[in-house]
Amino acid sequence: MQQLTSRPHGAGAPADRGHERQGPERRSLGGLIGLAVTVLALGAAVPAVPQELTAPPVEQPPSFAVLAEKLSPSVVNITTTAMLADVERGPGPMLPDGSPFEDFFRDFFENGPRGMPRERRSASVGSGFIISADGYIVTNNHVIEAADQVQVELFSGEELDARVVGRDPRTDLALLKVDRDEDLPFVSFGDSDRARVGDWVLAIGNPLGQGFSVSAGIVSARNRTLQGSYDDFIQTDAAINRGNSGGPLFNLDGEVIGVNTAILSPTGGSIGIGFAMSSAVASRVVDQLREFGETRRGWLGVQIQNVDADMADALGLEKAEGALVTDVPDGPAAAAGIEAGDVIVEFGGREIRDTRALVRIVAETEVGRNVDVVIIREGRRENLSVEIGRLEEATLAAAPGAAEPPASGSAPQEEQLLGMLLGVIDDTLRERFGLDPETEGVVVLEVEPGSDAHGKGFTAGDVITEVGQQQVSDPDDVRRRVEAAEEAGRNSVLMRVGRNGQSRFVALNLSR
């Protein structure tokens, strides 16, 4: 059994991934800011003293050759074959009279099995890496999905048939297995959370189907999100091209800190912006695929959104952090007593800064485990215990409950508030805006251009169901809740808004 690791000169670092999904439009990179410091003194002329920014000398390995030699035997080329859709035979090519090929094509197209399905197959290539002596191999899901046959080529040139153990499209990871009498050289996952921007990394794979190839670069950025809730990509400038998909991104300790997955490129080739799924995500997914043949993610059962500064003020929060609950369908959260309007600030003892953090932490939580959750409700911290469910069994929406009938009285049917014309929902407005018969609340009739409501995305047909975390049924209810927020010294008021069956919270600034 041979585990391939190495610790050459200096400390190493993780890198990112990159591959075929070209052009992920995601976060822009920040620019460098030059700093200059001058000193001014009163009553005396003091010359400006420039502050020179210095850094310790960079310890650069003289060569990556030893590391590449040790790690390459753990990397494999992957070739897949897939059946394409059946194609009906056409009438054949048009040929001039007397063509020497006329008899051949007539025999093939006319005397052959015209109208019968014609089998067509396509081949694709990618990369992978061995993580155990008995032949488990990690690659990208998009390398092997829909494949009829998967074949693995070892560094020695030996070819082996592989079977798919499990796939996870959400993180674009897959686990393969090959059988061989002798132990295979393998590598282990490292801790991608310890990788620093600027650390050296190596990418090894099969770019453009040209065979084993090594490229070096640095970690350009961390914690990139491309298009999934569970994304945690390392960005690297190590050259990654088509065919590198599924290959490893190594630190200088010979540990895998990323699985090369995507590139940002207008041309289809490497321009130095590649992305690798971090080992913090990949190692957990691979462990589950190996044990269960599938992923088993935790499920809390809430719809959430981030907290901005206006929301924090309206909710009486010290900081604009946490995950604001917008809806609670039937599920673990509802059973534990979590309500819409609660702000989740801790989960299992870990601080929750935003919705992305909560989604990842919940997904990593063992199904069936009881977790302590800290929420802020009406300005007070409360502790709840939630038994985590399984995401794949989740009910995405709950049937709406019976709404309270609107209060009777002589409240105005329409009122201008906070840059909006608000109205009481009636049959005419239900038909005008396509509202469900069960929808209750206050409907937005018009939005004043340039108002805070306009800037926050309000539009005619939106339905306001809560103001200041209290239900409203007519414009007068809204006005009284706004006045109560002003009397309490709030700069903002929180509203719960429904559109197309989905709800969200929006904080409107009272001073605008």
Q: Which residues are catalytic?
A: 142, 172, 245
Distance in Å from the first CA to the final CA of the chain: 69
**366 CB contacts (<8 Å, ≥6 apart)?**
298, 388
Burial of residue 301 (CB within 10 Å: 0-12, 13-18, 19+) is: buried
Please give the Cα distance from 80 to 280 (Å, whole number).
Answer: 28
Tokens of 512: 């605008």
Which residue has tokens 């490497």?
270
Local structure of 369: helix, strand or coil: coil
On whether the CB atoms of residues 266 and 254 are closer than 8 A, the answer is no
Q: Are 465 and 496 in contact (CB under 8 A)?
A: yes
Long-range contacts of 84-92 (CB under 8 A, 24+ apart): 84/120, 84/121, 84/122, 85/120, 86/117, 86/118, 86/119, 87/117, 87/118, 87/120, 88/115, 88/117, 88/118, 89/113, 89/114, 89/115, 89/116, 89/118
CA distance 94 to 50: 80
3-state secondary structure of 436: coil
Strand, coil or helix: 160: strand
Determine the Cα–Cα distance for residues 490 and 480; give it in Å rounded to an integer: 14
Q: How many CB atoms lie within 10 A of CB 307?
A: 25
DSSP per position, 17-40: ---BEE----PPPPPP--------
Only one residue has tokens 């206050």, namely 442
Using only the alpha carbons of the chain, give its radius of gyration: 30
Residue 425's CB is within 10 A of a number of other CB atoms, namely 18
